[in-house]
Amino acid sequence: MNTMDGSIKKRTGKLRIAAASLLLAIGVAVLAGCAKEPMEGERPSSAQTVEPPATSSPPIKQAGYEVDEQPGTVYYEIFVRSFYDSDGDGTGDLKGVTAKLDYLKELGIGGIWLMPIQASPSYHGYDTTDYYAINPDYGKMDDLKELLSEAHDRGIKIIMDLVVNHTSAEHPWFIDAIDNPDSPYRSWYHIVNGDEKVLMDGAAGSGSPPWHARGDSKYLGIFWGGMPDLNFDEPAVREEMIRIGQFWLEQGLDGFRLDAAKHIYGDFTSTIYTPEVTAANQAWWQQFRDGLSEVKPDAYLVGEVWDSVSVIAPFLDRALSSAFHFDLSDRIMAAAKNERDSDFAFSLGRSHKLFEQASSGAYIDAPFLSNHDDNRVMTVLDGHVPHAKMAAAILLTMPGNPFIYYGEEIGMKGAKPDEYIREPMIWYSDSNGGEGQTTWESSRHNAEAGAVSVEAQLRDENSLLEHYRKLIKWRNEEPALRDGVIAEYALAESNSKVSLYIRATAEERVLVVHNLSSEPQVLELAESPIYGRFGELLYTTADGANLENSELNMPPFSTVIVK
């Protein structure tokens, strides 16, 4: 049992008690015929003393309200090669990230995910050749230390990609293992004689042939031949990967984004969902977490478990802190694009219950819209800026640690192949660029960006960038919006053009309302049986929004927060 899980569990337990007594107070008030929420400072005196009747559980049970807070912050994913270049060679680097920390601080983020920065022969870095070295394109260890120090001074955490499922085929371990049958590294990989019978169905995750011939042998590489899978039944592999994780935490990193987390044992499409594979994956990540806890008990571990919530849940049991919520990203994008409510609170309530059970309350959700493996948001939304703003507004009002993919905040476009969803960040409105602009590849989707640049959008108060800054600021200011649970809220008269949900901590609650459509909407805000009346407009993205008595006027494509 690691200490981080223990402390979070305790906190959650305390909050649950607070929520239960709140519910009890409300339940008692309702039972006493006092359906109206008491005014502030005017608590029904009975709440402290009246025991609920033996049959009084229904108000609490029906409510199903638990405050399992998820204290979080907004994270920002950076592809270093494309972000900002400090030395004029056109390739982004670590000093370049440091140079742009103030931009990120002003955006309001509290965490950075660096895509792989370790030595690698590929442009993306997901095939490591030296787990202890910084990719020379990106700088030196001192540059990382400076970045960490400057980021921490600004209250920004930094995690980095760690790819443990496989190495590069050019890693010295693999070169020795494949060429030398007596190599001590032979058992670190899955290498068998060329004629040995092996599982030949598709590789999980890629569908391509999982085995690759080399001389008289063949080896397992489920993504491609250049990425041989490591053998996690070899204790030395586990020990080495834990040592590597500890090493980077000792340099000052705050945690890791763990690539291909379900593929450690999930190699084949025929076996990836068996209980044995689930248990083996879970046991490995628990061992990894325990090892890291020796150095940094609160290391943040977010895993790529590209699957449904039921597959994700076991990874949250004393192992990962978070797993990216892939299902949710699809639903947010669909709601924005189709201008139709997706009932987020209902579906998230179920997902979070599952995560909470698996993790004893210690998980943090990790919502996002897109990452380096997806076509970019603005391309998926056909360049429709109000839809992109709506997707952002939904993302940034979700529980957990929302992740923004660099360039998403200015509406950069991008479509596969992968190189073209990872294009240079656009800092300048002039297409000739300027200081720090990366040029390692020529842009295919953002070549004539103009307005799609940081420079242009910082000058425009209606820009997508300003919208992101606004929403993140709200989140940072309002504890319920940042740390609270999500709960359902029903209008008296249902309306699929709007999306409403409550965010609640034990002490505070707010109502989030999005008008997904291009038409104004007038809503009659009913009193919530659990959360009471929402009567004060706290924040709005649009000037024309107003709330009088309980009538809420929502301009097209607007988002408001009501208290």
Residues that bind Ca ion (CB under 5 A): 85, 87, 89, 91, 93, 165, 229, 263, 267
- Decide whether 160 or 398 has the Cβ nearer to Ca ion: 160
Shortest distance, position 326 Cβ to Ca ion, whole Å:
19
What is the b/e burial string over 265-293, where b = at least 16 CB atoms within 10 angstroms of the residue's CB?
bbbbbeebeeeebbebbbebbbbbbebbb
- Alpha carbon distance 115, 78 (integer Å): 6
- Decide whether 204 or 316 has the Cβ nearer to Ca ion: 204
Shortest distance, position 265 Cβ to Ca ion, whole Å:
6
Shortest distance, position 269 Cβ to Ca ion, whole Å:
13
Calculate the alpha carbon distances from 248 to 145, 212, 401 in Å: 11, 32, 22
Q: Kindly write down the DSSP assignment for every residue of 96-140, as one continuous string.
A: HHHHTHHHHHHHT--EEEEPP-EE-SSSS--S-SEEEEE-TTT--
Give the residue from 454, 481, 448, 484 showing the smallest Cα distance to 466: 454
HSE, CB side, 13 Å, CA atoms: give it for residue 523.
33
Give the residue from 69, 156, 104, 152 showing the smallest Cα distance to 479: 69
- Decide whether 87 or 106 has the Cβ nearer to Ca ion: 87
Phi-psi region of 465 (alpha: psi -120 to 50; beta: other; left: phi over 0): alpha
Report, in angstroms and rounded to the nearest whole number, the Rg of the chain calculated over CA atoms. Answer: 25
- Decide whether 45 or 442 has the Cβ nearer to Ca ion: 442
φ/ψ of residue 96, rounded to 5: -65, -40
- Decide whether 89 or 382 has the Cβ nearer to Ca ion: 89
Shortest distance, position 127 Cβ to Ca ion, whole Å:
14
The answer to whether 60 and 471 have CB atoms below 8 angstroms apart is: no
Shortest distance, position 263 Cβ to Ca ion, whole Å:
5
- Alpha carbon distance 108, 104 (integer Å): 6
- Three-state secondary-structure class, residue 274: coil
Give the residue from 204, 407, 161, 398 showing the smallest Cα distance to 302: 161
Shortest distance, position 447 Cβ to Ca ion, whole Å:
21
Shortest distance, position 434 Cβ to Ca ion, whole Å:
15
Beta strands per DSSP E along 254-344: 255-258, 300-303, 322-323
- Alpha carbon distance 254, 251 (integer Å): 9
Annotated catalytic residue within 93, 229, 304, 339? 304
Shortest distance, position 492 Cβ to Ca ion, whole Å:
52
Shortest distance, position 264 Cβ to Ca ion, whole Å:
5
φ/ψ of residue 379, rounded to 5: -75, -45
Give the residue from 527, 523, 526, 530 showing the smallest Cα distance to 504: 530
- Alpha carbon distance 122, 166 (integer Å): 14
Shortest distance, position 146 Cβ to Ca ion, whole Å:
15
The helix (run of H) or strand (run of E) holding residue 512 is strand 509-515
- The reply to whether 196 belongs to the active site is no
The answer to whether 470 and 479 have CB atoms below 8 angstroms apart is: no
Give the residue from 503, 552, 250, 263 showing the smallest Cα distance to 367: 503
- Decide whether 267 or 341 has the Cβ nearer to Ca ion: 267
- Decide whether 165 or 278 has the Cβ nearer to Ca ion: 165
Annotated catalytic residue within 259, 343, 441, 508? 259
Residue tagged 């049970």 (tokens): 61
- Three-state secondary-structure class, residue 342: coil
- Alpha carbon distance 270, 258 (integer Å): 23
The C-alpha angle 542, 395, 300, rounded to 5 degrees, equals 140
- Decide whether 28 or 220 has the Cβ nearer to Ca ion: 220
- Decide whether 65 or 223 has the Cβ nearer to Ca ion: 223
- The reply to whether 382 belongs to the active site is no
- Decide whether 164 or 388 has the Cβ nearer to Ca ion: 164
Q: Catalytic residue numbers? A: 259, 304
